Amino acid sequence: MYKDFIEKRTTLKIRETIEEREINILSPLASKAKFSWGRANPEAQEAIRTCFMIDRDRIVHSKSFRRLKDKTQVFIAPPGDHYRSRLTHTLEVSQIARTIGAGLNLNIDLIEAIALAHDVGHTPFAHSGEIILNELLPGGFRHSQNSVRVLTRIEKHRNQNGLNLSGEVLDGVLYHSGYGKGKPQASTLEGQVIHLSDKIAYVQHDIDDSIRAGLLKLEDIPSEYLETLGYTHSQRIATLVTDVIANTSRFMDKADGDIFVSFCPEIDKALQGLRHFMFEFIYQGRVCQAERRRATFIIEHLFDYFLKHPQKMTEFYREIAEQEGMETAVADYISGMSDAFCIALFEDIYIPQSLVPNALKSKVGDEY
């Protein structure tokens, strides 16, 4: 029965139809699956899915993607169910990016794959964890680079290291971080869409979460940014999305020289100002700094513990230690942990607890 199904599927020409549709309908500047840069390890093409569709599906089914639901976005383990996690941030980036991609007539499958993968290398405790590992790891640590490492080394597909994703996806993930002039840009417009969508998403939803937490009031935000971008969460996102589509479309229509996905100067200045305000008021504020000190204590102790006790790591990470060095293996192990697992591991190793067997407890109790 399954053999008949496979034979029937191989006769379908759905992928070819999708690829031709991309060529005929998408912008001339959009990435086309048929002309993809390819994979590090070439694979036979499928009958139904394009290469970017396959990439998206592999990412969604990966362990590192699932762990995002229990990784911090800004605040560590906040009370209540309505604060963002790293996973909900990823989904918001994907939603915003797909809208921009549709407005610019770019490849939505590629955009979605990059969006869903862009933060899979993030640490527990958000940027606090990243800062700590950057100090502990020789050569430093950047979550964007680690996301590529997770996708090409840590995750597995068909018993091989890495998911063997298309080059365009890895390029977009690598260059999604940072903001400002002179920063390296993704080679595809789809990757550049993710770069700005990430900023649109986290600045706005971090404002929302900070207000919910009682750490920020709308009137604390400089009025010049609100007057430009909007006074509500939805207004600001709508302004930013509309502007990046309108501004980039003007350059794409001219099609002369290098084309970059970008805001107009006024909107860019307002978003950069709002982002700077959030760094000063929230990200580097009293609460986040206090959380960072606690996160530092936990990660530093775990890092030191596994350096001294590599046998406590799984075989996979011990193999990395043999091949690439102990510090790299420990950083890989810790960076992949969810917040809850990291805390539970710290408690199990360092917090005093009874080690007396239950049976012995009963005998001791009977003596009194």
How large is the average pLDDT for residues 327-345?
96
pLDDT (tens digit per residue) in 4-58: 555 556 668 999 999 999 999 999 999 999 999 999 999 999 999 999 999 999 9
Question: Which residues is 161 bridged to in the sheet?
Answer: 156
Please tell me the predicted confidence (pLDDT) of residue 22. Answer: 98
Average pLDDT of the chain is 92
Percentage of the chain lying above the pLDDT 90 cut: 81
Name the pLDDT band for 288 (thresholds 50, 70, 90). confident
CATH, range 53-350: 1.10.3210.10
Question: Which residues is 85 bridged to in the sheet?
Answer: 72
pLDDT (tens digit per residue) in 165-222: 999 999 999 999 988 777 899 999 999 999 999 999 999 999 999 999 999 999 999 9
Nearest 10 degrees: CA dihedral of 151, 155, 160, 162? Answer: 0
Please tell me the predicted confidence (pLDDT) of residue 364. Answer: 47
What lies within 8 Å, CB to CB, of 226 at 6+ separation is 218
Q: Distance between CA 23 and CA 4 in Å, rounded?
A: 32
Residue among 169, 168, 204, 176 nearest 192 (CA):
176
Tell which phi-psi region holds residue 14, choosing left (phi > 0), alpha (psi between -120 and 50) or beta: alpha
Name the pLDDT band for 358 (thresholds 50, 70, 90). low
Q: Distance between CA 237 and CA 241 in Å, rounded?
A: 6
Q: What count of other Cβ atoms lies within 10 Å of the Cβ of residue 181?
A: 6
How large is the average pLDDT for residues 253-269?
88
